[in-house]
Structure 1
Amino acid sequence: MWGSRRNRGAKRITCIACGEDVRRSEAREYDKHGDRWERRNKAFEHLCKTCYRDLCHQPRDELEALLVEIQTELGSCSQETFLAHYEKLVEDRYGPLEERER
Protein backbone atom coordinates (compact mmCIF):
# COMPACT_ATOMS: atom_id res chain seq x y z
CA MET A 1 0.00 0.00 0.00
CA TRP A 2 2.68 2.53 0.97
CA GLY A 3 5.48 1.25 -1.19
CA SER A 4 8.87 -0.07 -0.22
CA ARG A 5 11.01 1.73 2.33
CA ARG A 6 14.05 -0.50 1.85
CA ASN A 7 16.06 2.07 -0.12
CA ARG A 8 14.94 5.10 1.85
CA GLY A 9 18.06 5.23 4.07
CA ALA A 10 20.53 4.95 1.20
CA LYS A 11 19.75 8.41 -0.15
CA ARG A 12 21.73 11.36 1.18
CA ILE A 13 20.20 14.71 2.07
CA THR A 14 21.47 18.13 3.11
CA CYS A 15 20.18 19.56 6.40
CA ILE A 16 18.42 22.89 5.74
CA ALA A 17 19.62 24.25 9.11
CA CYS A 18 23.32 23.39 9.30
CA GLY A 19 24.13 22.23 5.77
CA GLU A 20 25.47 18.86 6.91
CA ASP A 21 25.24 16.03 4.39
CA VAL A 22 23.73 12.94 6.08
CA ARG A 23 22.05 9.68 5.10
CA ARG A 24 18.26 10.02 4.76
CA SER A 25 17.83 7.43 7.52
CA GLU A 26 19.70 9.79 9.87
CA ALA A 27 17.44 12.77 9.13
CA ARG A 28 13.91 13.99 9.79
CA GLU A 29 11.41 15.44 7.33
CA TYR A 30 10.50 19.08 7.81
CA ASP A 31 7.21 20.51 6.61
CA LYS A 32 6.89 24.28 7.01
CA HIS A 33 3.12 23.89 7.23
CA GLY A 34 3.40 21.57 10.22
CA ASP A 35 1.42 18.75 8.61
CA ARG A 36 3.85 16.12 7.43
CA TRP A 37 1.09 13.49 7.24
CA GLU A 38 -0.67 15.19 4.32
CA ARG A 39 1.78 14.19 1.60
CA ARG A 40 0.01 15.11 -1.64
CA ASN A 41 1.86 17.60 -3.84
CA LYS A 42 4.60 18.22 -1.27
CA ALA A 43 8.35 18.24 -1.52
CA PHE A 44 9.83 17.88 1.94
CA GLU A 45 13.01 19.44 3.19
CA HIS A 46 15.14 17.62 5.76
CA LEU A 47 16.93 18.28 9.04
CA CYS A 48 19.68 16.21 10.61
CA LYS A 49 18.59 14.67 13.92
CA THR A 50 20.63 17.17 15.96
CA CYS A 51 18.99 20.20 14.33
CA TYR A 52 15.57 18.54 14.52
CA ARG A 53 15.95 18.08 18.29
CA ASP A 54 16.82 21.78 18.62
CA LEU A 55 13.55 22.87 16.96
CA CYS A 56 10.65 24.18 18.95
CA HIS A 57 7.90 21.61 18.50
CA GLN A 58 5.07 23.87 19.64
CA PRO A 59 2.05 24.43 17.38
CA ARG A 60 2.58 27.10 14.74
CA ASP A 61 -0.94 27.49 13.39
CA GLU A 62 -0.75 31.27 12.93
CA LEU A 63 2.96 31.61 12.12
CA GLU A 64 2.74 31.59 8.31
CA ALA A 65 -0.06 34.18 8.34
CA LEU A 66 1.91 36.37 10.74
CA LEU A 67 5.02 36.24 8.54
CA VAL A 68 2.99 37.11 5.44
CA GLU A 69 1.35 40.00 7.32
CA ILE A 70 4.75 41.42 8.28
CA GLN A 71 6.06 41.05 4.72
CA THR A 72 2.97 42.84 3.40
CA GLU A 73 3.31 45.69 5.93
CA LEU A 74 7.05 46.21 5.65
CA GLY A 75 7.94 45.01 2.17
CA SER A 76 11.68 44.69 1.73
CA CYS A 77 13.52 45.51 4.95
CA SER A 78 16.55 44.52 7.00
CA GLN A 79 16.52 41.37 9.11
CA GLU A 80 16.82 43.55 12.22
CA THR A 81 13.73 45.58 11.28
CA PHE A 82 11.77 42.43 10.40
CA LEU A 83 12.62 40.73 13.71
CA ALA A 84 11.83 43.83 15.76
CA HIS A 85 8.42 44.08 14.08
CA TYR A 86 7.83 40.34 14.56
CA GLU A 87 8.66 40.58 18.27
CA LYS A 88 6.31 43.53 18.75
CA LEU A 89 3.41 41.81 16.98
CA VAL A 90 3.91 38.59 18.96
CA GLU A 91 4.03 40.47 22.27
CA ASP A 92 0.94 42.51 21.35
CA ARG A 93 -1.05 39.39 20.45
CA TYR A 94 0.28 36.71 22.79
CA GLY A 95 2.06 38.48 25.65
CA PRO A 96 5.75 38.94 26.42
CA LEU A 97 8.34 36.58 25.01
CA GLU A 98 10.26 34.69 27.64
CA GLU A 99 13.46 32.79 27.19
CA ARG A 100 13.05 29.18 28.32
CA GLU A 101 15.87 27.32 30.00
CA ARG A 102 16.93 24.08 28.32
Structure 2
Amino acid sequence: MWPSRNASESVTCLACGKQVSRSMAREYDKHGDRWDRTDKRFEYCCKSCHDDLCHYPRDELEALLIELDAGETDRDAFLSSYLEIVEERYGTLEEEY
Protein backbone atom coordinates (compact mmCIF):
# COMPACT_ATOMS: atom_id res chain seq x y z
CA MET A 1 0.00 0.00 0.00
CA TRP A 2 1.29 3.46 -0.88
CA PRO A 3 1.63 6.03 1.87
CA SER A 4 -0.80 8.93 1.80
CA ARG A 5 0.49 12.18 0.34
CA ASN A 6 -1.52 13.97 3.03
CA ALA A 7 -0.24 12.02 6.04
CA SER A 8 0.68 15.20 7.92
CA GLU A 9 -2.64 16.90 7.15
CA SER A 10 -4.92 17.54 10.13
CA VAL A 11 -8.48 16.17 9.95
CA THR A 12 -11.49 16.36 12.26
CA CYS A 13 -13.10 13.21 13.63
CA LEU A 14 -16.76 13.27 12.60
CA ALA A 15 -17.77 11.40 15.78
CA CYS A 16 -16.00 13.25 18.59
CA GLY A 17 -14.78 16.43 16.86
CA LYS A 18 -11.15 15.91 17.89
CA GLN A 19 -8.42 17.19 15.52
CA VAL A 20 -5.94 14.42 14.63
CA SER A 21 -3.24 14.00 12.01
CA ARG A 22 -4.43 12.26 8.86
CA SER A 23 -2.03 9.38 9.60
CA MET A 24 -3.81 8.80 12.94
CA ALA A 25 -7.30 8.76 11.40
CA ARG A 26 -9.42 6.28 9.45
CA GLU A 27 -11.38 7.10 6.31
CA TYR A 28 -15.14 6.97 6.68
CA ASP A 29 -17.40 6.67 3.65
CA LYS A 30 -21.08 7.18 4.44
CA HIS A 31 -21.98 5.00 1.46
CA GLY A 32 -19.98 2.07 2.81
CA ASP A 33 -17.78 1.72 -0.28
CA ARG A 34 -14.40 3.19 0.56
CA TRP A 35 -12.68 1.32 -2.29
CA ASP A 36 -14.50 3.17 -5.10
CA ARG A 37 -12.68 6.50 -4.94
CA THR A 38 -13.99 8.15 -8.13
CA ASP A 39 -15.16 11.72 -7.38
CA LYS A 40 -15.40 10.96 -3.68
CA ARG A 41 -14.57 13.07 -0.61
CA PHE A 42 -14.04 11.16 2.60
CA GLU A 43 -14.76 12.11 6.17
CA TYR A 44 -12.54 10.80 8.96
CA CYS A 45 -12.77 9.14 12.38
CA CYS A 46 -10.00 9.03 14.95
CA LYS A 47 -8.82 5.46 15.60
CA SER A 48 -10.68 5.26 18.91
CA CYS A 49 -14.04 6.29 17.43
CA HIS A 50 -13.48 4.08 14.38
CA ASP A 51 -12.97 1.06 16.65
CA ASP A 52 -16.31 1.86 18.33
CA LEU A 53 -18.23 1.90 15.03
CA CYS A 54 -20.46 -0.94 13.90
CA HIS A 55 -18.74 -2.45 10.86
CA TYR A 56 -21.77 -4.31 9.52
CA PRO A 57 -22.95 -3.47 5.98
CA ARG A 58 -25.30 -0.50 5.87
CA ASP A 59 -27.07 -1.00 2.58
CA GLU A 60 -30.08 1.30 2.28
CA LEU A 61 -29.19 3.20 5.48
CA GLU A 62 -28.42 6.55 3.83
CA ALA A 63 -31.67 6.46 1.82
CA LEU A 64 -33.62 5.57 4.98
CA LEU A 65 -32.07 8.45 6.94
CA ILE A 66 -32.98 10.87 4.14
CA GLU A 67 -36.51 9.46 3.97
CA LEU A 68 -36.93 10.02 7.71
CA ASP A 69 -35.51 13.58 7.59
CA ALA A 70 -32.64 12.69 9.94
CA GLY A 71 -31.22 15.85 11.45
CA GLU A 72 -34.37 17.79 10.60
CA THR A 73 -36.80 16.28 13.14
CA ASP A 74 -36.45 16.07 16.90
CA ARG A 75 -34.57 13.09 18.29
CA ASP A 76 -37.49 11.25 19.89
CA ALA A 77 -39.70 11.53 16.79
CA PHE A 78 -36.84 10.38 14.55
CA LEU A 79 -35.99 7.36 16.72
CA SER A 80 -39.62 6.33 16.98
CA SER A 81 -40.07 6.53 13.19
CA TYR A 82 -36.76 4.77 12.57
CA LEU A 83 -37.58 1.80 14.80
CA GLU A 84 -41.08 1.51 13.35
CA ILE A 85 -39.88 1.48 9.74
CA VAL A 86 -36.93 -0.85 10.40
CA GLU A 87 -39.17 -3.39 12.13
CA GLU A 88 -41.77 -3.07 9.37
CA ARG A 89 -39.21 -3.63 6.59
CA TYR A 90 -36.66 -5.94 8.21
CA GLY A 91 -38.35 -7.51 11.22
CA THR A 92 -37.80 -7.15 14.96
CA LEU A 93 -34.39 -5.97 16.09
CA GLU A 94 -32.80 -8.64 18.28
CA GLU A 95 -29.22 -9.29 19.30
CA GLU A 96 -27.81 -12.73 18.58
CA TYR A 97 -25.37 -14.27 21.03
TM-score computed with the length of structure 1 as normaliser? 0.80
Q: Closer, same or farther in 2 for the Cα pair 1:8/1:96, shift >3 Å?
A: same
CA-atom RMSD in angstroms: 2.4
* % identical aligned pairs: 54
Structure 1: segments with no counterpart, 5+ residues = none
* Aligned with 1:96 (options 88, 92, 95): 92
| CA-CA distance at 1:19 after TM superposition | 0.8
Equivalent-residue separation in structure 1 for 2:43 and 2:4 (angstroms): 20
- Where 1:46 maps in the other structure, the secondary structure is strand
Q: Closer, same or farther in 2 for the Cα pair 1:7/1:41, shift >3 Å?
A: closer
TM-score computed with the length of structure 2 as normaliser? 0.84
* Aligned with 2:78 (options 78, 82, 90): 82
Aligned residues: 96
Q: Closer, same or farther in 2 for the Cα pair 1:100/1:10, shift >3 Å?
A: farther
Equivalent-residue separation in structure 2 for 1:36 and 1:6 (angstroms): 15
Q: Closer, same or farther in 2 for the Cα pair 1:19/1:58, shift >3 Å?
A: same
Structure 2: segments with no counterpart, 5+ residues = none
Structure of higher CA gyration radius: 1
| CA-CA distance at 1:40 after TM superposition | 1.2
